[in-house]
């Protein structure tokens, strides 16, 4: 894993064998102190684990790449999930009444985004597919980003009961 990568080596005086420092060791050792009265010091690693970003799992937010697997992996951690600014295109899972793009199933999970963050369905996904399903979870909070169900694709589809009046 990335946390096992060696990022620095240094040979101690009188030793032929270098000491190795991994990314995980560095993060645990680096102090972090938030600005403001009453803030307490903790490790940078602890600070970075407050929530996960969908980009930590490979989401691109380019509006073209299917980011479903990356966002679902972030949701599946059970930690709060951050959506940086971007357009996150999604495919779906399941068929019939069980189809959806993403599912959140952890109590008290927060799913939040930066202004300009959008979850949207890929054009190949049926227009009646739910973008986010909260399943078997209480007190899930969703805020700070847009969910675009591609309403424009619904217009004129008589099966879905949407469209313009002809008369």
What's the order of all strands across the beta sheet hosting 117-121? Answer: 62-66, 86-90, 117-121, 146-148
Nearest to 128 by CA among 88, 158, 103: 158
In whole angstroms, give the CA distance from residue 103 to residue 64: 21
Predicted local distance difference test score (pLDDT) of residue 27: 64
List average pLDDT for each run of 10 residues in the chain, which is 167 residues long. Answer: 54 66 69 87 80 95 95 95 95 69 93 94 83 92 89 50 39
Phi, psi of 51 (to 5 degrees): -155, 165
Let me know: does 108 contact 76? Beta carbons within 8 Å: no
CA atoms within 13 A on the CB side of 79: 14
> Is this prediction's pTM over 0.85?
no
Predicted local distance difference test score (pLDDT) of residue 162: 39
What single string gives the DSSP state of each residue in 106-155? Answer: STT-EEEE-TTEEEEE-TTS-TT--SEEE-S-SS-EEESSEEE--HHHHT
Beta strand ranges found along 29-109 (DSSP E): 31-32, 42-43, 52-53, 62-66, 81-83, 86-90, 102-104
| 158 to 42, 153, 162: CA distances (angstroms) | 58, 12, 6
Structure tokens at 90: 């999604």
Structure tokens at 47: 């600070």
In whole angstroms, give the CA distance from residue 75 to residue 86: 17
Predicted local distance difference test score (pLDDT) of residue 43: 81
């Amino acid at each position: 894993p990335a946390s096992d990568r060696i990022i620095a080596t240094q040979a101690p005086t009188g030793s032929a064998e270098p000491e190795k420092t991994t990314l995980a060791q560095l993060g645990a050792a680096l102090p972090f102190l938030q600005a403001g009265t009453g803030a307490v010091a903790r490790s940078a690693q602890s600070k970075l684990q407050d929530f996960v970003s969908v980009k930590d799992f490979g989401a691109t937010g380019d509006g073209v790449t299917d980011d479903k697997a990356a966002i679902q992996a972030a949701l599946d951690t059970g930690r709060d999930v951050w959506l940086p600014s971007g357009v996150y295109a999604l495919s779906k899972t399941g068929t019939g009444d069980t189809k959806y793009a993403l599912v959140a199933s952890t109590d008290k999970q927060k799913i939040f985004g930066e202004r300009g963050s959008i979850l949207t369905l890929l054009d190949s996904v049926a227009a009646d597919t739910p973008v986010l399903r909260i399943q078997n979870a209480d007190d899930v909070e969703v805020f700070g980003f847009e969910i675009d169900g591609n309403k424009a694709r619904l217009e004129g589809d008589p099966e879905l009961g949407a469209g313009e009046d002809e008369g």
